[in-house]
Amino acid sequence: MPAFTFFGGKGGVGKTTVSTAYAMQLARGGARTLIVSTDPAHSVGDLIDQPVGPDPVAVTDVDGLRAQEIDPRRTVEEHRLQTKRELRDQVSAGLVREIDAQIDMAHEGPGAHEAALMDELIAVMRGAEAYEQVIFDTAPTGGTLRLLALPELLEAWIGRLREKREAAMRLYDRAAIGKKQSRRQREGDVILERLRERRDRFRFARETLQSAGRFILVANPDALSVRESTRAVEQLTSYDLPVAGVVVNRITPTPPADEHGEAAAFLRERVAVETAQLRALETAIDAPILARVPTVAGAVLEDVGDALGAIDAPPDEDAH
Amino acid sequence: MTGPRGPALRETLREWLHGLYHGMIEHPASEKIEQEAEDLEDMFIMACFPDAFGISSPTAYYTAELLPYVAEDLAAWERRMWNRESVLERKGHQYHF
């Protein structure tokens, strides 16, 4: 099984840049690597200056690296259409209209978006056998955390649903006089089958995340980002998800000591503020700081990659 | 005198006795069990589609997959749920007041 690394953090801290630079570095080190963007803004393609779609494509500049962009909106739409097709196969035309409205309702809002994203993440994880390293450039913190908490909640919830359904089935069985099998029993099999399939998928996701997954938070050296990261680490830990540490991105470089201009004075002031924030982060957070990435001027991906050098690649289980 | 004799008599007797057993024991019991099953099923559907009562469900996206297979029962279920004024109202039926 490959190793799965998720990059999290507030919007705009540089998750896509850091995760892409990291993926490139892993690939250059010889690991078959996949970078997956789940951000609806889809900026991996912009960053590597190459069109990227829902199926993995080879990144032209880097051997052994493939990139993929997931669009949960498309997934929601496909799921809606598939459910409606099944409805038309099952019930009379009169009923279709009423139930159609309910299907539409279930596919609107942020909940549907997150559920679809979860399905896509599971699909990627299940089909990742060809890779040694899979890197996810995840969506911003709040949604991601809720999403990653879902497998556990859903599994428990589906378990209870199945118990109810099975108990009802058993009772119908006992109530049936003679050896008659009721319509409900036959249909119940489809429903139980669906619930079982769902449960297996969520269980796989949870087990994979806990055994082969790890989370790296990207933060900037400012008060908002420091607080957000501290909360995120607490939340991930409370969900039993492994946190590898924090990458601090966009640290202002200290100007040379012989510079005395206004710009140098401004930079020194910034550096002092950021140093205080970094210290606050170190004391507040229950995870190591893996790398400190300076604000870079030129070749962003290369420079960020160099600064990330300190992060070890997680072991790929097959390699041992 | 006409009428069943021998094996035929035994068969008629068996049928009558089974009818008696069915009417006095089997049927009322299976009626109760079936109602219990219906109650459980109502809870199942309620847990799947709380949206029908204005309670938003975090899993509506996933349970929507089940809609095509419970659609036929959904109308009856909704009626039962809205009309049920108390637990007794439904449970009381089994005593044939």
Tell me what ipTM this predicted complex has: 0.73
More confident residue, A164 or A139: A164
Three-class SS of residue B73? Answer: helix
Strand order in the sheet with A289-294: A57-58, A65-69, A33-37, A133-137, A3-8, A213-219, A243-251, A289-294
- Does A238 score more than 60 pLDDT? yes
Q: Using only C-alpha atoms, what is the Rg of chain B?
A: 22
Task: Give the ranges where B1-97 is alpha helix by DSSP (H).
Answer: 6-21, 27-48, 60-63, 67-83, 87-91
Mean pLDDT on A10-31: 90
For residues A23 and A235, the answer to whether their CB atoms sit within 8 Å is no
Which residue from B32, B38, B25 is spatially nearest to B80, judged by alpha carbons? B38
* Gap from A148 CA to chain B (nearest CA, Å): 13
Q: What is the mean pLDDT of residues B6-11?
A: 87
Q: pLDDT tier at A4 (50, 70, 90 boundaries)?
A: very high
Residues from A contacting B (CB-CB < 8 Å) are: 76, 79, 83, 86-87, 89-91, 95, 98-99, 102-103, 105-107, 111-112, 115-116, 150, 153-154, 157, 160-161, 164-165, 167-169, 171-172, 174-177, 184, 187, 190-191, 194-195, 198
Contact A284, A226 (CB under 8 A): yes
Q: State the DSSP string of A49-76.
A: TS---SS-EE-TTSTTEEEEE--HHHHH
Task: Please tell me which of the candidates B40, B48, B69 has its beta carbon nearest to residue A187.
Answer: B69
Asked if the Cβ–Cβ distance from B47 to A91 is below 8 Å, we say no
Residue A260 pLDDT more than 60? yes
Q: State chain B's maximal CA–CA distance in angstroms.
A: 75
Q: What is the pTM of this model?
A: 0.78
B49 neighbourhood in chain A, CB within 8 Å: 102
Residues from chain B that touch A106, judged by Cβ atoms under 8 A, are 51, 60-61, 63-64, 67
pLDDT digits (tens, 9 = 90+) for A46-84: 888 899 989 999 999 899 999 999 888 889 999 999 999
Contact predicate A230/A22, CB 8 Å: no
Report residue A244: phi and psi, to 5°.
-80, -35
Higher pLDDT, A314 or A35: A35
- Segment B51-64, tens digit of pLDDT: 777 777 767 888 89
Residues of B in contact with A76 (CB under 8 A): 61
pLDDT tens, residue by residue, A92-147: 888 888 889 889 988 987 778 888 888 888 899 999 999 999 999 975 455 555 65
User: Which tokens is A41 given?
Assistant: 């803004």
Residue of A236, A239, A254 lying closest to A292 (CA atoms): A254
